[in-house]
A and B are shown apart, each in its own frame.
Chain A
């Protein structure tokens, strides 16, 4: 199914479609702001369309500062920046200045002194990206901070769902696995609840955060009950070190009770969509047969949408720097048409 524009949340009269300097999290975003980012991402997402490339960010510098190891997200942001024509520099900060004792804020000031036009940051500590954002002069994009938020992952998940289901509102969506330690889960909770989906968290009691229902989420410790009639199942990656903390006894027991199998999916909607932010632990949280089921699995599509969403976020956040302002009812200059640079 293709996405249906009539189901969008319109921007109210007089409201700015995205009045934020940074994208630090989903929490607090208005439904139409999320919808705006998704619409923008849609423009970059069609594989058959030449609009996947642009010179919109030509001459701008994008720094990817990753304080925590990452391959997939970093590559996705690099490709997104390059497809927009930006000069992209990636640095694995964990391996450099932090080891020399430089404080986080000094690192931020150093980055700022290089006059980037946008900085993408991943950090192992919750709140670290917001702290850096408060000290730099350019837009900051959170690529994951501790167990707090990973907003572009939630946006790409939402875009994937919307393209497959045509909507977000009213869908039953289960997010399953290590919810406690997951920034992906938190960003998705905020986004999906804001957009009117019925959101469920499915996890063993040891991996369920306290007060999760206050985020507008229904908690389930029984996976069959949590998956009943759901339209979408999002699996989370299980970190192997959870066994050491006595959160779980073993991988095989986890797979037996919380692994996504054909059998367990039988209680879900017939057209259930299966998602995973990757990288997958096959046989731990998801059975290979389910992961590779091209009818139901959207896992590779998620990766593809990741680039589109990150292009949209980079492009939108750099609009003020490129002289494109919201004039009350329209943008002051034409948003990039997506011509090949």
Chain B
């Protein structure tokens, strides 16, 4: 047995246990053995935690790629992998294989494809995928256009008590659009869809999920109307949850000016009014999770005319500081950790998300006051496209511990 590991004198932030004070964490093997104040064993290896926040390892609740080194540099120890892979994760064998790709350092929890080939028409083998380890099912990059299919999907997934993760954009209103209709899209002459393309799909899926008694998680809400619809649904006591991304909380459609394809995202960036509604939703608890939507693109996919460029950005390395920034002055580390770890673990039934004794020793140590500048060229993978390049941010990961092992240290 390896020596126990002691994280000494860190500010422990653990929403699940309510810990929000300076203390120690003892790790034995792959698990957390003790938390708070206790007598540390003499033989323990020691990590100095002074000035750092110790929180449960971050769980990115929606990535399209699971770049392990980049995740660890961002304090992420588990990811929910979207089914939009090649081939799509619509089969139990593919789900099982996807679970192994990140181990041992980043655990991948696949979301099974809700429909075969993500085509949006025929259900995939949801029950078998759950047995193979799927943490939920997802509609993929696009929503399911047909309401009857979506309704049956929600009913069927509810039978297995699986969360359905939905991409909410009405396919017909979206059409070939690559931008949100508004001043910037009009100036640039880009094909654009109205922001209601999202809220109409949100309203539909919320109603269908209520009728089906299903657990629905809307992966990204990015408009004022969408946030409002979810807020009302929650007030009715439904099991609907939603997430957003730092880009949709911090950037508006003006970022597209000059045809900057790094700002080509899905859903597209919105008006500043919508962006501020997302911030309000984060502040009042309407929005449950923040995911990176990590989807780095190659130069070949981005150095194209705006509408032809692939949507997506690299996001795992900047998830924590940008979430802190989204929460603003009032935002504390507790709320950030809830959005980035505790809530995703609870929603998807994942191990981790807490520092309670007996939990996996997945821990992120970060300096909440450390100012730095995002530098995409230093990212740990070849695709370095982020609309946040060169942005000064605050809060930096100092170390990442996965299963009791220090797997990243800055």
> Residues of A with Cβ closer than 8 Å to B?
27, 103-105, 123, 125-128, 130-131, 145-149, 183, 186, 209-212, 214-215
Contact = CB atoms under 8 A, between A and B. Distances in A.
Contacts of A128: 305
Contacts of B187: 27, 186, 215
Given A103-B300, A210-B192, A126 B306 contact: yes
Contacts of A130: 258-259
Interface residues of B, number: 22
Nearest to B185: A210
B304 to A, nearest CB: 7
Contact of A145 (B181, B186, B189, B304): B189
Contact of B188 (A104, A105, A126, A214): A126
A126 B259 contact: yes
B305 A125 contact: yes
A13 to B, nearest CB: 30
A128 B307 CA distance: 10
25 contacts: A27-B187, A104-B305, A123-B305, A125-B306, A125-B307, A126-B190, A126-B305, A127-B190, A128-B305, A130-B258, A131-B303, A131-B304, A146-B189, A146-B190, A147-B191, A186-B187, A186-B189, A209-B185, A210-B181, A210-B194, A211-B182, A211-B183, A211-B184, A211-B186, A215-B186
A27 B303 CA distance: 23
Given A125-B305, A127-B305, A148 B189 contact: yes
B308 interface: yes
A149 B189 CA distance: 8
Contacts of B258: 130
Nearest to B304: A104
A131 B304 CA distance: 8
Interface string B173-187: 000000001111111
Nearest to B308: A125
B186 A212 contact: yes
A127 B188 contact: yes
Interface in B238-293: 258-259
A105 B307 contact: no
Contacts of A186: 186-187, 189
Interface of B: 181-192, 194, 258-259, 300, 303-308
A145 B305 CA distance: 10
Given A125-B305, A147-B191, A209-B185, 7 more contacts: A103-B304, A130-B258, A146-B307, A186-B189, A209-B186, A211-B185, A215-B187
Contacts of B300: 103
B76 to A, nearest CB: 33
Contacts of A123: 305
A131 B188 CA distance: 13
Contacts of B182: 210-211
B48 to A, nearest CB: 49
Given A125-B305, A126-B306, A131-B305, A147 B189 contact: yes
Contact of A210 (B186, B191, B259, B308): B186
Nearest to B260: A127
Nearest to A210: B181
Nearest to A217: B186
Contacts of A148: 188-190
Contacts of B307: 125-127, 146
A125 B306 CA distance: 8
A18 B60 CA distance: 50
A215 to B, nearest CB: 7
A148 B189 CA distance: 4
Contacts of B192: 210
A13 B368 CA distance: 52
Interface centre among B190, B259, B305, B308 (most CB of A within 10 A): B305
B183 A214 contact: yes
Nearest to A150: B189
Interface centre among B184, B186, B307 (most CB of A within 10 A): B186
A335 B347 CA distance: 72
Nearest to A132: B305
Contacts of A147: 189-191
Nearest to B181: A210
A19 B190 CA distance: 27
Contacts of A214: 183, 186
A300 to B, nearest CB: 28
The list of the 9 closest CB pairs from A to B, nearest first, reads A148-B189, A127-B259, A125-B305, A147-B189, A211-B183, A210-B181, A126-B189, A128-B305, A209-B186
A128 B300 CA distance: 15
Nearest to B178: A126
Q: Kindly name the residue among B182, B187, B303, B304 whose own CB sees the greatest number of chain A CB atoms within 10 A.
A: B187
B303 A105 contact: yes
A183 B190 CA distance: 11
A131 B259 contact: yes
A228 B75 CA distance: 64
Nearest to A182: B189
A120 B110 CA distance: 49
B225 to A, nearest CB: 16
Contacts of A145: 189
A127 B187 CA distance: 11
Contacts of A209: 181, 185-186
Nearest to A213: B183
B257 to A, nearest CB: 11
